[in-house]
Amino acid sequence: MTSTLPFAELHLHLEGTLEPELVLELARRNAVDLPFRDVDSLRRAYAFADLQSFLDLYYANMAVLQRPEDFADMTRAYLTRAAASGVRHAEIMVDPQAHLARGVPLETVVDGIASVLATSERDHGVSTLLIAAFLRDRDEDEALDVLDRLLALDAPIVGIGLDSAEVGNPPSKFVRLFDRARTAGLHRVAHAGEEGPPSYVVDTLDLLQVERIDHGIRSLDDDALVARLVADQVPLTVCPLSNVALRAVDRIEDHPVLTMLDCGLHVSVHSDDPAYFGGYLDDNLAALTTALGMTDEQRRRLAAHSIQASFLPADRRDALLAEIDAPSD
């Protein structure tokens, strides 16, 4: 198996990289009282029946993030682990609303993360871009206000995303938000078709005019949508271990990602919330190899798709693709 292929991590929630050890370390630093005695008891809570059960713990653990150095430590820990897994470029999502709702100033969030991302390539060998993701179970007016505040801060974001609870929160709720982002020259991505129906993928493309779909596995339930996605080569950032952890797919052996790849969809593999879902990028790739017999050629195509779907400048993107195309030793 080729182990040196460069990958881009495009579907990664920074708050979802909070390992139990760091959660407890930050809790002690900030005198936050958590209902867990030790790392083992907290880790046992990282087992979920569905998306909502995950979100409950995900937001509860955020209580330990209070100061810029907390956000910096979280970012640094992710980059260290990502580099070890073969990630050479990461487009990292952060949820500003989740922190503002806790009374943490926007500047605290942005400054802490940006202080580490500014030197990520030098320090970790990973180039980075930051995406502000908005919570679809909250009000669009709130999201518009937060986006305007980010723009007024000149926050180093290249795009916006849409995440959190999908069912009952259709893309049509956020048309003005995505119009505003497009006018501001920002890239647009959004979760769709994880637990929601294929129609959410269609509406995300048509109403929000996104450049990438995060997840999109439910697209397979609509043949016309699959044909459209193949024809337009719309990137789908798929997260196998996450899908299994949240019961969107029963077993890793049942995951459709390689079927999607081989039918011409522009899929790539990512880790989503790796601390909570059992693995980082290398863990996802290893699981696909063990459970589905992923070949070196499929792995190479997934790597190339991840780079192609990124928002990297053309020269950096082409250099990474050249590494993938180079003959292996």
The per-residue pLDDT for range 228-262, each reduced to its tens digit, is: 999 999 999 999 999 999 999 999 999 999 999 99
**Cβ–Cβ under 8 Å, residues 36 and 116:** no
Residue 278 lies in a domain: yes
Residue 323 lies in a domain: no
Taking alpha carbons only, the member of 259, 256, 213 closest to residue 232 is: 213
Rounded Cα gap, residues 265 and 255, in angstroms: 15
Taking alpha carbons only, the member of 16, 73, 70 closest to residue 46 is: 16
248-269 burial, b if ≥16 CB within 10 A, otherwise e? bbeebeebbbbebbeeebbbbb
Note down pLDDT in tens along the chain; length 329 residues. Answer: 334 899 999 999 999 999 999 999 999 999 999 988 899 999 999 888 888 888 889 999 999 999 999 999 999 999 999 999 999 999 999 999 999 999 999 999 999 999 999 999 999 999 999 999 999 999 999 999 999 999 999 999 999 999 998 999 999 999 999 999 999 999 999 999 999 999 999 999 999 999 999 999 999 999 999 999 999 999 999 999 999 999 999 999 999 999 999 999 999 999 999 999 989 999 999 999 999 999 999 999 999 999 999 999 999 999 999 999 987 65
DSSP annotation string for 263-322: TT-EEEE--BSHHHHT--HHHHHHHHHHHH---HHHHHHHHHHHHHTS---HHHHHHHHH
Domain of residue 167, residue span? 12-311
What DSSP state is assigned to residue 235?
E
pLDDT at res. 328: 65
Rounded Cα gap, residues 281 and 8, in angstroms: 10
Q: Is 8 helix (H, G, I), strand (E, B) or coil?
A: strand
pLDDT at res. 329: 55
The CATH number of residue 101's host domain is 3.20.20.140
Residue 171 lies in a domain: yes
Considering Cα of 247, then 263, then 224, then 229, what sign does the dihedral take? positive
Residue 1 lies in a domain: no
Rounded Cα gap, residues 147 and 125, in angstroms: 30
Residue 3 lies in a domain: no
Residue 179 burial by Cβ neighbours in a 10 Å radius (0-12, 13-18, 19+): middle
CA angle 78, 154, 183 (to 5 degrees): 105
Which pair of tokens denotes residue 13?
A: 């929630």
Look at the block and give the residue holding tokens 């992710």: 78
Residue 65 lies in a domain: yes
pLDDT at res. 48: 86
Rounded Cα gap, residues 318 and 329, in angstroms: 21
Question: 266-269 and 127-135 as β-strands: parallel, antiparallel, unpaired?
Answer: unpaired
Residue 249 lies in a domain: yes
**Cβ–Cβ under 8 Å, residues 70 and 29:** yes
Q: How far is CA 149 from CA 141, 179, 215, 254, 296, in A?
A: 12, 16, 28, 43, 45
**Cβ–Cβ under 8 Å, residues 308 and 317:** yes
Q: Is 9 a catalytic residue?
A: no
Catalytic residue from among 15, 19, 91, 194: 194
Number of domains in the chain: 1
Give the pTM: 0.96
21 residue type, one letter: E
pLDDT at res. 65: 98
pLDDT at res. 55: 87
